[in-house]
Amino acid sequence: MSLVKSVQVAAHRAARLEQVIGDARQARLVRAAERFRARLGERTVWNVSSTAAGGGVAEMLQVLVGYAEDLGVTVGWMVITGDAEFFALTKRLHNQIHGQAAGGPLTAGQAAHYAQVLAANAAELLPRIRPGDLVLLHDPQTAGLAPALATCGARVAWRSHIGVDWENDATRAAWDFLRPYLDAADGYVFSRAQYVPAWVPRRKAWIIPPSIDPFSPKNQDLDGGTVRAILATIGVLEAGAPGGQTAFVRGDGGTGAVTRPAEITGEGRPGPIDPLVVQVSRWDRLKDMPGVMAGFAGHVAPGGSGYLVLAGPAVTGVADDPEGAAVFGECLLAWRDLPAAARARVLLVTLPLEDLDENAAMVNALQRHAAVITQKSLAEGFGLTVAEGMWKARPVVGSAVGGIADQITPGTGILLPDPRDGAAFGAAVRTLLDSPGQASQMGRAAQDHVRANYVGDLHLIRYEQMLTALISEC
């Protein structure tokens, strides 16, 4: 069985972006693609990541690779394979880059395992990549491939989708481990300038914020009836809520329908007009789902209205996220410990991942139905869920950490200076629940802000600039 799998992505018609970004931005995108095709010649742009599903990297690649293909750029996406030990240690690196020391530096044995797994994957990648090809490696899971790929003549850029704006022993330990591999890269991409570690040569550092796709099943317009029907189908809204169509447009343009239920832990179910406070995240400690629950139970539920919905992927579903089941278990324990009155208004939801478009439509419906969206992360590379909520004109309460602080600008949501301050979190949520007028004004400003800053054309143009520089330096 091969370790490296090619991911086939549905074509995404770039021309339709014009409805969202206008003709001037559309024309700029088309010109950039023409220029880039000419520079690229016979070369291929390869993306290499560690999962095709679940989490922000996969979410973006599905879309960007689809648009790039439609724009005539030769682009591929390959996913490596690792075992549980490999993903446990790369998760440690991920947490360290976020400044979390848990587990300490990797042992010599773990370092050897990392090298061994990536050497086996590299052996399968190398025959597919030609000298001069451009390779974008994503995140710590693939960083160790850089020397082998550079040796075979590819131009290699490594993209970190994570980071913090400070350093500590944990971040230094991660970079000390990764740097001997990453020194072989020709370019380094970070979501924010503050994330670039001191050892990266400034002229090789590129800042490319993530983006969302307005037409993906995750973000496309759904009318209110469809939203409610989807939420009733997955079991979030009480049985007896009006039925109806659960249809959405798939990534490949076909029609899909939400048919699978979610797994739900909850005693009560909201009715169709009860306000929902929603956080969608992987089951990751840094997303602080238990903190959201405690903030809601302690500072919103008493005297306030609404239900809290904490939603994430099915816990066995995300291959490169081995902590998911444990963190979900911690959430279950915290939920059981809630005071009875609050517990009746908190739902833990795991969304099936068998059909990724269907999963995305479920997230879409949850975000659209939310009165308030939260992202109370303790650390966050960018926080795509924030842009997704803002795009749906929802007011977002987010921690002032990482990319969330860039996304929520004054008037477009509420930033929490201290992510651990449950009282401030509760007060922000209450303000928005109690003032629907202010909340919807904020939501509209949020949508404009995402349109201006975080739609895929900008992302593709920044990639074009970075990859063109890699070619020029050959």
Q: Does 59 bind ligand UDP (CB under 6 A)?
A: yes
Q: Does 139 bind ligand UDP (CB under 6 A)?
A: no
Closer of 356 and 460 to ligand UDP (Cβ)? 356
Q: Which of 280, 361, 405, 455 binds ligand UDP (CB under 6 A)?
A: 280
Q: How far is the CB of 314 from ligand UDP (least distance, A)?
A: 8
Cα–Cα distance, 377 to 190 (Å, whole number): 19
Q: Does 388 bind ligand UDP (CB under 6 A)?
A: yes
Q: Does 97 bind ligand UDP (CB under 6 A)?
A: no
Cα–Cα distance, 238 to 242 (Å, whole number): 10
337, two tokens: 């410990």
Q: Per-residue string for binding with ligand UDP, 243-262, x by CB under 6 A?
A: --------------------
Cα–Cα distance, 389 to 311 (Å, whole number): 14
> For 248, phi and psi rounded to 5 degrees?
-150, 165
278 close to 367: Cβ distance less than 8 angstroms: yes
Interface region with ligand UDP, contact rule CB under 6 A, candidates 246-254, 299-307, 384-392, 450-458:
384-392
Closer of 378 and 461 to ligand UDP (Cβ)? 378
Residue among 231, 177, 229, 188 at smallest CA distance from 351? 231
Q: Which of 182, 360, 405, 470 binds ligand UDP (CB under 6 A)?
A: 360
Burial class (CB in 10 A: 0-12, 13-18, 19+), 185: buried
Q: Does 312 bind ligand UDP (CB under 6 A)?
A: yes
Q: Does 282 bind ligand UDP (CB under 6 A)?
A: yes
CA dihedral 286, 416, 385, 29 (to 10 degrees): -120
In this structure, the strands spanning 370-375 and 396-399 are parallel
The secondary structure of residue 260, as a DSSP letter, is: P
Q: How far is the CB of 152 from ligand UDP (least distance, A)?
A: 30
Which position has the token pair 């042992």?
107
Q: How far is the CB of 240 from ligand UDP (least distance, A)?
A: 25
Residue among 98, 104, 109 at smallest CA distance from 139? 98
Q: How far is the CB of 383 from ligand UDP (least distance, A)?
A: 5
In the 3-class helix/strand/coil scheme, how is 102-144 assigned residue by residue?
A: CCCCCCHHHHHHHHHHHHHHHHHHHHHCCCCCEEEEEHHHHHC
C-alpha 246: how far from chain center: 24
Interface region with ligand UDP, contact rule CB under 6 A, candidates 9-17, 53-61, 182-190, 391-399:
53-61
C-alpha 427: how far from chain center: 27
Q: Per-residue string for binding with ligand UDP, 199-218, x by CB under 6 A?
A: -------------------x
Interface region with ligand UDP, contact rule CB under 6 A, candidates 83-91, 124-132, 174-182, 377-385:
377-385
Closer of 226 and 375 to ligand UDP (Cβ)? 375
Q: Does 56 bind ligand UDP (CB under 6 A)?
A: yes
Closer of 155 and 376 to ligand UDP (Cβ)? 376
The secondary structure of residue 301, as a DSSP letter, is: T
Q: How far is the CB of 359 from ligand UDP (least distance, A)?
A: 5
Walk across the sheet containing 205-207 and list its strands: 5-6, 75-79, 45-49, 134-138, 155-160, 187-190, 205-207
Interface region with ligand UDP, contact rule CB under 6 A, candidates 12-20, 198-206, 379-387, 458-466:
379-387
Closer of 97 and 301 to ligand UDP (Cβ)? 97
Q: Does 313 bind ligand UDP (CB under 6 A)?
A: yes
Q: How far is the CB of 388 from ligand UDP (least distance, A)?
A: 6
Q: Amino acid letter at 363?
A: V
Cα–Cα distance, 45 to 65 (Å, whole number): 10
Cα–Cα distance, 170 to 85 (Å, whole number): 20
Q: How far is the CB of 466 from ligand UDP (least distance, A)?
A: 20
Radius of gyration from C-alpha coordinates of the chain: 22
Closer of 144 and 381 to ligand UDP (Cβ)? 381
Interface region with ligand UDP, contact rule CB under 6 A, candidates 121-129, 259-267, 330-338, 359-367:
359-367
Q: How far is the CB of 251 from ligand UDP (least distance, A)?
A: 12
Cα–Cα distance, 93 to 109 (Å, whole number): 15
Q: Which residues bind ligand UDP (CB under 6 A)?
A: 55-56, 59, 218, 280, 282, 312-313, 351, 359-360, 363, 382-385, 388
